[in-house]
Amino acid sequence: MDHIIFPLLAVLIALTIGAIIMLLSGYNPVRGYTALFVGVVGDTYFIGETIRTMIPLVLAGLAVAFAYRTGLFNIGVEGQLIVGWLASVFVGITFDLPSFLHLPLAIGAGAFAGALWGFIPGLLKAKLHVHEVIVTIMMNYIALHVVNYLIRTFLLQPGERTDIVKPSASLASPFLQSLTDFSRLHYGFILAIIACIIMWFTLWKTTTGFELRAVGLNEHASRYAGMNVGGNIVLSMVISGAFAGVGGAMEGLGTYQYMTIMSGFTGVGFDGIAVALLGANTAIGVALASALFGGLQIGSLNMQSQAGVPTELVDIVIALIIFFVASSYLVRWLITRIKKEGV
């Protein structure tokens, strides 16, 4: 029950403080939040865009949550997402196959690239005990600059981007777009739902998932029980990276249909950390947290145009949500400690 109450309280407190900041800045918080709400569910276009924004956030959140559930902190989701994006677009551009082969191959390429980017820090952690946080942070920058180099050298088209992926590898849906007043909603939302089910099933309904969680909880006990600790660490990072890579494929094959040269990070991978934190590292929690973050990002645009409130206020609210959720973990730890000492 605490996993539900604490995140809800964090959201409410953050929104309250956001309203106070609006008042102090000379804006009307009622008008601001009304515009925010309308910008999320006001019409079918906003609903479609909110769901579209959720798709990569769900997969990035699952990547962070999966690693965390197995005792690892994957800060490299951003880099894994970027390489997955490029790999999926490359396959979508290069091959000429029927759709039932081309699309799965492109998505699989994104998953493989992300998994490979997760394999390296996993291997270093398992064999050399190098902390995964340091390695994954550094690999974010490697991913960004290597991908930009590859695009400039081999895939560059006018507009500082790659070519458009072929229709046989596209997730775009004219049907969904027509339902949502021509938003960019695509079939990737189905894959996001499937990914949530895969994470839940893998961690809680399989022997492999049990071993992964056991190694995360106690490496020494797991090794004593005969589990392959190093192999499970690598596998966890590979699966986490695969989730992130598919998140990149959703951007490349769904939202944009291409990849541009990037001057900086997308931010989706880092938002995935906040999504996983708010969602208590559960599949359903990640989906709900992604809905909140996606809604805030899309709704903030309407809040600025209709109420004159700067979009930066939403960044403040998101930061406050993260702060209070993190604080809730500290409060929970203190309560547990006090109860133990009381006993």
Give pLDDT, residue 82.
98
Take residue 267 and report the two structure tokens written for it. 């931010």
Rounded distance between C-alpha atoms, residue 240 and residue 269, angstroms:
12
pLDDT tens per residue, range 24-37: 988 899 999 999 89
- Determine the pLDDT at residue 3: 67
* Nearest alpha carbon to residue 115 among 199, 203, 240: 240
Cβ count near 216 (within 10 Å): 18
Please tell me the pTM assigned to this model: 0.93
The pLDDT assigned to 306 comes to 85
pLDDT for the residue 2: 59
Region of 181 (left: φ > 0; alpha: ψ -120 to 50; beta: rest) is: left
Instruction: Determine the pLDDT at residue 302.
Output: 86
Given this model, what pLDDT does residue 209 score? 96
Q: Which pLDDT value is given to residue 321?
A: 83
Look at residue 335 in the predicted model and tell me its pLDDT: 63
pLDDT number for residue 211: 96
Question: In the structure encoding, which two tokens stand for residue 252, read together?
Answer: 């490349």
User: Which residues of the chain have a pLDDT value below 50?
Assistant: 343
Q: Directed axis angle between helix 268-278 and helix 283-307, to 10°?
A: 120
